[in-house]
A = this chain, B = another copy of it.
Amino acid sequence: MSKYWTPLASSLEPYVPGEQPKDKTYIKLNTNENPYPPSPKALEAMKEAANADLRLYPDPTCEELVQAAANYYGLSPKQTFAGNGSDELLAFAFAAFFDPARPVLFPDITYSFYKVYAKLCGITPKLIPLDEQFQVPIDQFAGDHGGMILPNPNAPTAILIPLDQVRKLLEANPDRVVIIDEAYIDFGGESAVKLVPEYPNLLVIQTLSKSRSLAGLRVGLAFGSEELIDGLNRIKNSFNSYTMDRLALRGAVAALQDEAYFQETTAKVVATRDGIIASLKELGFIVTDSKANFLLISHPSYSAADLFKQLREQGILVRYFNSPRIDNYLRVTVGTDEEMAQFLKVLKRLIGA
């Protein structure tokens, strides 16, 4: 605390990102990064963009990237928005659409940054409990509220909400904004972007961090009706006119245009994931039905907190959340086949299998 802080600054409970220890080299399965490098074409585009033009401001409207993203999904640029990582877009969206006068709904088990944004924007969250199988109880996302946000697939459960259920949410709440956070949609889910032309209250948020292997570049995208995109732009242009640098803009465009590489790498992650799920189940682990690039796993006979520590000592980083209902689970990012073989080998040893 400091006498110089505003009441807001004093009240915040900032997010804590996954650790990035530098003491030794780890197999890093803790922040849901893609094990494959970005598209070579994207890397080439960024190298080319590292030129004298960096003395000039970037395009504040991100026109080229917005157009590329709009083209990718068959939408208009006016239905498309780009920013400095999907975290920034989420912060803008909370400020733009979630009126502090009403509670905002999200699952009790979900991306833990949502409650941080809520605090930043003075919003009271209303947590809707997932059922015993960690499924989202769609019918309970209703009533007198100020909007809602759901990741799809959910994190850290990795479970997908089918598109007909998303449609139900949109139709049950026509006067409130429904944000679908699709950070992990490309690993087996069906995107709600196709519903954008039908529902003015739908905002879909995506990122190039996971399926495009560009966590280090900070690129997020949003898709929604023109009035929602206008709302995001109002917040953005009251915060920072130039949120995306020239290198990120160029790299993102090139990545979106390299469809073959995207299909190849996401398919590899999915294949590895489905293989490791089978192996983990054989070892007695409970594994949710992941449609993401990570797994949520638990063992009836071994403490997740202990396994987390032991894995770390063995050079393998996974994520452990000391939170209600998931405090005996580990979240494990899907790495390469080699990384997952090593993970399994160490895990077997730890549980004496």
> Are A14 and B84 interface neighbours, CB within 8 A?
no
Q: Which of A26-73 contact B (CB under 8 A)?
A: 28, 31, 33-38, 43, 46-47, 50-60
Number of interface residues of A (CB under 8 A): 87
A233 lies within 8 A of chain B by Cβ: yes
**A4 neighbours in B (Cβ, 8 Å):** 97, 176-177, 200-201, 227-228, 231
A193 lies within 8 A of chain B by Cβ: no
> Are A36 and B9 interface neighbours, CB within 8 A?
no
A20 lies within 8 A of chain B by Cβ: yes
> How many angstroms between the C-alpha atoms of A13 and B201 in the bound complex?
23
**A57 neighbours in B (Cβ, 8 Å):** 17-18, 20, 31, 33, 209, 215-216
Known: A95-B6, A237-B14. A85 touches B242 (CB 8 A): yes
Partner of A9, one of B84, B95, B242: B95
**A231 neighbours in B (Cβ, 8 Å):** 2, 4-5, 9
A98 lies within 8 A of chain B by Cβ: yes
Name the residue on B nearest A61 (C-beta): B20
Number of copies: 2
Q: Which of A114-122, A310-318, A343-351 contacts B (4 or more CB under 8 A)?
A: A114-122
> How many angstroms between the C-alpha atoms of A270 and B227 in the bound complex?
46
> How many angstroms between the C-alpha atoms of A239 and B96 in the bound complex?
14
Name the residue on B nearest A51 (C-beta): B43
Partner of A238, one of B52, B116, B234: B116
Chain B nearest CB: distance from A96 CB in Å? 4
| 1/0 contact string of A160-195 vs chain B (CB within 8 Å) | 000000000000000111000000000000000000
> Are B55 and A215 interface neighbours, CB within 8 A?
yes
> Are B84 and A55 interface neighbours, CB within 8 A?
no
> How many angstroms between the C-alpha atoms of A174 and B206 in the bound complex?
45
Known: A15-B241, A50-B247, A240-B85. A55 touches B214 (CB 8 A): yes
**A14 neighbours in B (Cβ, 8 Å):** 233-234, 236-238
> Are A6 and B84 interface neighbours, CB within 8 A?
no
| 1/0 contact string of A221-255 vs chain B (CB within 8 Å) | 00000011011011111111111111110010000
> Are A54 and B37 interface neighbours, CB within 8 A?
yes
**A98 neighbours in B (Cβ, 8 Å):** 6
Q: Which of A16, A37, A175, A201 lies at the interface centre, i.e. has the most chain B CB atoms within 10 A of its CB?
A: A37
Chain B nearest CB: distance from A197 CB in Å? 16
> Are B36 and A43 interface neighbours, CB within 8 A?
no
Name the residue on B nearest A59 (C-beta): B20
Name the residue on B nearest A244 (C-beta): B218
> Are A96 and B5 interface neighbours, CB within 8 A?
yes
> How many angstroms between the C-alpha atoms of A291 and B149 in the bound complex?
49
> Nearest 6 CB-CB pairs, A to B?
A14-B237, A37-B52, A2-B227, A46-B50, A54-B216, A216-B246
CB<8 Å pairs between A and B, sample of 23:
A2-B227, A2-B230, A4-B201, A7-B99, A9-B95, A9-B234, A12-B234, A14-B236, A16-B237, A17-B242, A20-B57, A28-B56, A43-B51, A46-B50, A58-B215, A58-B218, A87-B242, A88-B239, A113-B241, A120-B238, A216-B245, A218-B245, A245-B247
In addition to A36-B55, A46-B46, A117-B238, 16 A-B residue pairs with Cβ atoms within 8 Å of each other are A2-B228, A5-B96, A5-B227, A8-B96, A15-B237, A37-B52, A38-B54, A38-B55, A50-B247, A84-B243, A87-B239, A88-B240, A88-B243, A216-B246, A217-B245, A245-B245
